[in-house]
Amino acid sequence: MDHIPLAERLRPKNLDEYIGQEHLVGPDAGLRKAIDNGLIPSIILWGPPGVGKTTLARIIADSLDRPFYTLSAISSGVKDVREVIQKVEQAGLFGTGNAILFIDEIHRFSKSQQDSLLGAVEKGVITLIGATTENPSFEVNSALLSRCQVYVLKALTVENLDTLLERAITEDKQLANKNLQIVERKALLKHSSGDARRLLNVLESVANALPPGEGKITDESVNQIIQENPSLYDKDGDQHYDIISAFIKSVRGSDPNASVYWLARMLQGGEDPKFIARRLIILASEDIGNANPTALVLANTTFDSVQKIGMPEARIVLSQCTVYLASSAKSNASYEAIGKAISAAREHGNLAVPMHLRNAPTKLMKELGYGENYKYSHSFPGNFETQEYLPEEIKGTAFYQPGNNAREREMKKNLNTFWKGKYGY
Q: Is there a single domain that holds both residue 147 and residue 182?
A: no
Which CATH number do you get for residue 286? 1.20.272.10
Q: Is there a single domain that holds both residue 198 and residue 133?
A: no
Q: Is there a single domain that holds both residue 133 and residue 97?
A: yes
- Does 4 fall in a domain? no
Q: Which pLDDT score, from 0 to 100, does residue 173 have?
A: 86
Q: Is there a single domain that holds both residue 62 and residue 140?
A: yes
Q: Which pLDDT score, from 0 to 100, does residue 325 have?
A: 96
- Does 13 fall in a domain? no
Q: Is the CB of residue 45 less than 8 Å from the CB of residue 136?
A: no
Q: Which pLDDT score, from 0 to 100, does residue 162 have?
A: 92
pTM of structure: 0.61
Burial of residue 349, with CB atoms counted within 10 A of its CB: 0-12 exposed, 13-18 middle, 19 or more buried = exposed
Q: Which pLDDT score, from 0 to 100, does residue 4 have?
A: 84
The per-residue pLDDT for range 26-61, each reduced to its tens digit, is 888 889 999 888 888 899 999 888 899 999 999 998
What is the number of structural domains in the chain?
A: 4
Which CATH number do you get for residue 409? 1.10.3710
Whole-angstrom Cα distance, residue 7 to residue 168? 9
Domain end among 193, 211, 233:
233
Q: Which pLDDT score, from 0 to 100, does residue 235 have?
A: 43
- Does 333 fall in a domain? no
- Does 165 fall in a domain? yes
Name the residue range of residue 131's domain: 20-152
- Does 335 fall in a domain? no
Q: Is there a single domain that holds both residue 253 and residue 356?
A: no
Q: How many CB atoms lie within 10 A of CB 23?
A: 14
Q: Is there a single domain that holds both residue 206 and residue 193?
A: yes
Q: Is there a single domain that holds both residue 37 and residue 144?
A: yes
Domain end among 152, 167, 189:
152
Q: Is there a single domain that holds both residue 147 and residue 113?
A: yes
Q: Is there a single domain that holds both residue 147 and residue 25?
A: yes
Angle at 424 between CA 419 and CA 425, to 5 degrees: 70
Which CATH number do you get for residue 193? 1.10.8.60
Which CATH number do you get for residue 72? 3.40.50.300
- Does 425 fall in a domain? no
- Does 356 fall in a domain? yes
Q: Is there a single domain that holds both residue 214 and residue 278?
A: no
- Does 8 fall in a domain? no
What percentage of the chain exceeds 70 in pLDDT?
Answer: 95
Q: Which pLDDT score, from 0 to 100, does residue 280 have?
A: 97
Q: What is the chain's pLDDT, residue by residue, as a tens digit (425 residues)? A: 557 888 889 999 989 899 999 999 988 888 999 988 888 889 999 988 889 999 999 999 888 888 889 888 877 878 888 888 888 887 764 444 478 999 988 888 888 888 888 888 888 888 999 999 888 887 888 889 988 999 999 888 899 999 999 999 888 888 888 888 898 888 888 878 778 888 998 898 888 888 877 788 988 888 888 776 554 444 444 456 778 889 999 999 999 999 999 999 888 877 889 889 999 999 999 999 999 999 999 999 999 999 888 888 999 999 999 999 999 999 999 999 999 999 999 988 889 999 999 888 888 888 888 888 999 999 999 899 899 999 989 998 999 999 999 999 999 998 988 998 888 87
Q: Is there a single domain that holds both residue 382 and residue 357?
A: yes
Q: Is the CB of residue 110 less than 8 Å from the CB of residue 78?
A: no
Domain end among 233, 264, 286:
233
Q: Which pLDDT score, from 0 to 100, does residue 94 have?
A: 46
Q: What burial letters (b/e) apply to 245-255, b meaning 16+ CB within 10 Å?
A: ebbbebbbeee
Q: Is there a single domain that holds both residue 165 and residue 145?
A: no
